């Protein structure tokens, strides 16, 4: 049952992330259809992300005592209904509202999917199970955009938006009929879960994840601009390389799942050097097409692995409150994306497009420092416990 359960959770996560990111490819159609500017249409993306960042820590906490299957059915029902409303909405404010409502519930499903996947296998295999669910995130980001864009341009905006509802409905039906009852075996009080915020390693992990995700997405947000301005690629080649980057994310998910199940600390400590190395080479060789194409592939794999590292780092910081920890993961990564994009944008406007890489390097260096601080803290605690036991 574990494999089928994890597969359904992966499809469910894909349907959720597809709703969040898939609209990116149809913003011009939204603008044209509702008579708003493209920047105003962009609120469908930015507002969704902002709501997720705000609700990330709170909503999983509120739903932590509810039967997991019932909670997932509720969330998928909300997404299906709101996406259907969006498809038939007569004006833009209604579309905006229909996007905001499900965004509040996004952290509930995603955090539970990760928790359930991790709990469905032996503890050592949990990172592998979570990595499979994370593939749903990558697929939602990579495949959702071109699929919805193609459907909308070949048919209509309404049909494209109904695709969101259709995928949500498919995940909903699979959850109703194929997912077993998932009662919460041990209900944790809100106070118990919030108590993890009193621990220093939790905050080291939260801030570390913000820097790590900010490093990845701060640079990625301007990747198209970088390839157009610095590498001087055509729009067609840029599209191909963006697809390569996204597909490489899925490879990174699988690799990270195996590495985090084996020697996680060594992998986490090594990762910043790998990503920083890619950025350094990109800074000097980003002008050349072939090296840039190779770097995009490697960077895509590392970016996929980064998502798993982020989730693992917060899950292991607060193992007694898994849903809340995953909510913190979602909030931290979204805030990291926002801050990283802003800082790299500052470098772009102040120094030039090439210098967005500098922002990425600074962020990954800060992430490494916080990772080391947590590892040292944990080793000190382990040594103290060992001394107390032998005393």
User: How far is Cα 306 from Cα 256, in angstroms, rounded to an integer?
Assistant: 8
Domain boundaries defined on the chain? 2-185, 191-390
- Burial class from Cβ neighbours inside 10 Å (0-12, 13-18, 19+) for residue 104 reads middle
Nearby residues of 181 by Cβ (< 8 Å), 6 or more positions away? 67, 69
> 291 is written with which tokens?
């090296």
191-390 and 2-185 share a CATH fold: yes
pTM: predicted TM-score of the whole model, two decimal places: 0.82
Buried b (16+ CB within 10 A) or exposed e, 15-34: bbbbbbbbbebbbebbbebb
User: How far is Cα 108 from Cα 114, in angstroms, rounded to an integer?
Assistant: 10
Per the CB < 8 A criterion, the answer to whether 292 and 231 are in contact is yes
**CATH architecture assignment, domain 2-185:** Up-down Bundle (1.20)
Domain 191-390 sits in CATH 3.40.640.10:
no
Q: What angle do CA 195, 310, 135 make, to 5 degrees?
A: 125
Q: What is the pLDDT along the chain (391 residues), one digit of tens a residue?
A: 478 899 999 999 999 988 887 887 788 888 889 998 877 888 887 788 888 888 888 898 888 889 999 999 999 999 999 999 999 999 999 999 999 999 999 999 998 998 888 888 887 788 888 888 888 887 887 777 778 888 888 889 899 899 999 999 999 999 999 998 888 877 777 787 888 888 889 999 999 999 999 999 888 878 878 888 899 988 778 878 888 888 898 899 889 988 998 889 999 999 999 999 999 999 999 999 999 999 999 999 999 999 999 999 998 998 888 888 888 888 898 888 888 888 888 898 889 889 999 999 999 999 999 999 999 998 888 777 677 676 5
């Amino acid at each position: 049952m574990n494999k089928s359960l994890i597969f359904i959770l992966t499809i469910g996560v894909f349907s959720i992330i597809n709703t969040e990111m898939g609209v990116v490819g149809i913003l011009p159609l939204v603008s044209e259809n509702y008579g708003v500017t493209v920047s105003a249409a962009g609120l469908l993306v930015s507002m969704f992300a902002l709501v997720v960042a705000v609700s990330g820590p709170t909503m999983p906490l509120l739903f932590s005592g509810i039967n997991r299957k019932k909670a997932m059915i509720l969330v998928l029902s909300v997404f299906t209904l709101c996406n259907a409303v969006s498809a038939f909405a007569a004006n833009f404010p209604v579309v905006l509202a229909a996007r905001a409502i499900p965004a509040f519930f996004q952290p509930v499903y995603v955090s539970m999917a990760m928790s359930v996947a991790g709990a469905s296998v032996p503890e050592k295999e949990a990172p592998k199970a979570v990595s499979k669910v994370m593939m749903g995130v990558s697929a939602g980001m990579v495949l959702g955009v071109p699929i919805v864009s193609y459907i909308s341009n070949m048919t209509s905006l309404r049909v494209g938006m109904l695709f969101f509802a259709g995928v949500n409905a498919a995940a909903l039906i699979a959850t109703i009929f194929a997912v077993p009852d998932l009662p919460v075996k041990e209900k944790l009080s809100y106070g118990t879960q919030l108590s993890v915020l009193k621990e220093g390693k939790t905050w080291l992990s939260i801030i570390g994840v913000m820097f790590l995700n900010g490093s990845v997405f701060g640079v990625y947000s301007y990747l198209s601009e970088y390839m157009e301005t610095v590498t001087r690629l055509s729009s067609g080649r840029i599209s191909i390389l963006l697809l390569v980057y996204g597909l490489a994310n899925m490879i990174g998910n699988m690799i990270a799942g195996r590495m985090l199940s084996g020697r996680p600390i060594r992998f986490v400590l090594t990762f910043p050097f790998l990503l920083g190395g890619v950025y350094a080479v990109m800074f000097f060789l980003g002008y050349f097409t072939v090296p840039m194409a190779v770097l995009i592939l490697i960077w895509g794999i590392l970016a996929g692995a980064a998502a798993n590292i982020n989730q693992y780092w917060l899950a292991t910081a607060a193992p007694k409150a898994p849903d809340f920890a995953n909510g913190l993961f979602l909030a931290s990564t979204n805030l990291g994306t926002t801050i990283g994009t802003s800082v790299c944008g500052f470098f772009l406007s102040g120094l030039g497009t090439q210098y967005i890489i500098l922002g990425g390097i600074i962020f990954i260096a800060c992430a490494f420092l916080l990772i080391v601080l947590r590892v040292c803290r944990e080793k000190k605690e382990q040594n103290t416990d060992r001394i107390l036991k032998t005393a």
